[in-house]
Amino acid sequence: MGSFKRLQYICKTLETYYTELISPKASTLFINYVEARDLKNINLPNIGYLSPLKKQQYEAKELGFEIPNNDKKKYEIVITSIPKSREEALGQVARAYKNTKFGGVLVLEGNKRNGIGSIIKILSKIVQIDYQTSKAHGKIAIIKVVSRRIGTFSTWLDFSMPSKNKDGFFSMPGLFSYKNIDPASQFLSLSFNDNLNGNVIDLGSGWGFLSSKLLKNCRNVKSVTLLDHDQRALECAKTNINNPKAKFKWADINETTALGIKFDNAICNPPFHNNKGKNIELGKSFIKAAHNNLKSRGSLLLVANIQLPYENTIRNLFHNFQIHSENKYFKIILANKPKRKYDHALV
């Protein structure tokens, strides 16, 4: 999502063919554009930035962009980057259309591998595509908003709202394993018992399955802090967990040193993919976050795909660790007593 080359081309196209929309009084909204820093020097008026992700929204705020807190404001130009999830993409397009002023333009951009071609094809059946081109391994489409009477978009808005998944938990497109409980988390939850106690942090909590099982199965837990970088996930988790022991923290995984509290236990099913593909370093950052936020005798309980090489990182950061349990697909690692001195080059 969010190619700078495509963004530059979009700006030139708007300046050439839609000059009436680029004025000091006009405004621009970016939805789901990953790199807020890309927008710093572009020639578009009065930029607003909308993202559920903490790091991206923080960067946008630091750059002085408007952060809208509702859907009431309309913009002359709305630019949205299409995500990989088809349902999330449709919900995002509907929301972007709703945010566009009558007579304004909605610009879609995205990678071909994320399926933007199919989204544009769907849109072409219900609205007129004013401009379309291929650029930088992706596509760009521009729609001029000339009607509000498009019921399909109202239906698609449901994709941008929480609803119950197959297992009865509230979730939504765009969140990890939003349709049902993922097998790794289910496997990890089977190990929850009264040995997990005190104050617990759930790193990358998502829509809250692990914490809900923890609070159900572990009587000696005093509190559980659900930490996630996606605001949508935490809103779903708040609906799924009605327990005074639960606390919710919207933060990027690299912000955890600012929590100001040490925990007795940490649980996590760390991600190992980002927008660019497989990224083992992302999973390691969760292990480091657990290390930084545990008490001197604290423990980490982590689930991972059987082939992921986390053991060396854990060995460097913790005094003790063991494979708690495993099956054909996943392993659960139990690590104890975080080291205060370790080789930073190995993390």
Our CA dihedral for 144, 145, 146, 149, rounded to 10 degrees, sits at: 140
pLDDT of residue 259: 80
Provide the residue-wise pLDDT of the chain in tens; the chain has 347 residues.
Answer: 568 999 999 999 999 999 999 999 999 999 999 889 999 989 999 999 999 999 999 999 999 999 998 778 999 999 999 999 999 999 999 999 999 999 999 999 999 999 999 999 999 999 999 999 999 999 999 999 988 777 888 899 999 999 999 999 999 999 999 999 999 999 999 999 988 999 999 999 999 999 999 999 999 999 999 999 999 999 999 999 999 999 999 999 988 776 888 999 999 999 886 666 677 888 999 999 999 999 999 999 999 999 999 999 999 999 999 999 999 999 999 999 999 876 666 66
- CATH assignment of 4-160, given 1.10.3720.10, 3.90.230.10, 3.40.50.150, 3.10.180.10? 3.40.50.150
Cβ distance 6 to 138 under 8 Å?
Answer: yes
The tokens of 117 are what? Answer: 């071609």
Quote the pLDDT of residue 157. Answer: 92
Q: Name the residue type at position 32.
A: N
pLDDT per position as a tens digit, 64-88: 999 998 778 999 999 999 999 999 9
The per-residue pLDDT for 279 is 74
Amino acid 152: pLDDT: 82
Query: What are the domain boundaries of the chain?
Result: 4-160, 164-346
Tokens found for residue 235: 């809103």
The yes-or-no answer to whether 4-160 and 164-346 have a common fold is yes
Q: Which two tokens stand for residue 153?
A: 């978009």
Neighbours of 61 (CB within 10 A): 13
Looking at residue 154, what is its pLDDT?
Answer: 85
65-73 contact pairs (CB < 8 A, 24+)? 65/36, 65/39, 66/27, 68/29, 71/95, 71/98, 71/99, 73/27, 73/48, 73/99
Orientation of helix 209-217 relative to helix 231-240, angle to 10°? 30
Instruction: Name the token pair of 1.
Output: 């999502």
- What is the 3-class SS of the chain, one letter each residue? CCCHHHHHHHHHHHHHHCHHHCCCCCCEEEECCCCHHHHCCCCCCCEEEECCEHHHHHHHHHCCCECCCCCCCCEEEEEEECCCCHHHHHHHHHHHHHHEEEEEEEEEEEEHHHCHHHHHHHHHCCCCCCEEEEECCEEEEEEECCCCCCHHHHHHHHHHCCEECCCCCEECCCCCCCCCCCHHHHHHHCCCCCCCCEEEEEECCCCCHHHHHHHHHCCCEEEEEEEECEHHHHHHHHHHCCCCCEEEEECCHHHHHHCCCCEEEEEECCCCEECCEECHHHHHHHHHHHHHHEEEEEEEEEEEECCCCCHHHHHHHEEEEEEEEECCCEEEEEEEEECCCCCHHHC
pLDDT for position 274? 63
Dig out the tokens for 36 from the structure. Answer: 């807020």
Q: Give dist(CA 67, CA 57) in Å, integer.
A: 8
Q: How close are the terminal C-alpha atoms of the chain, in Å? A: 28
Tens-digit pLDDT profile for residues 8-30: 999 999 999 999 999 999 999 99
Which CATH architecture group holds 164-346? Answer: 3-Layer(aba) Sandwich (3.40)
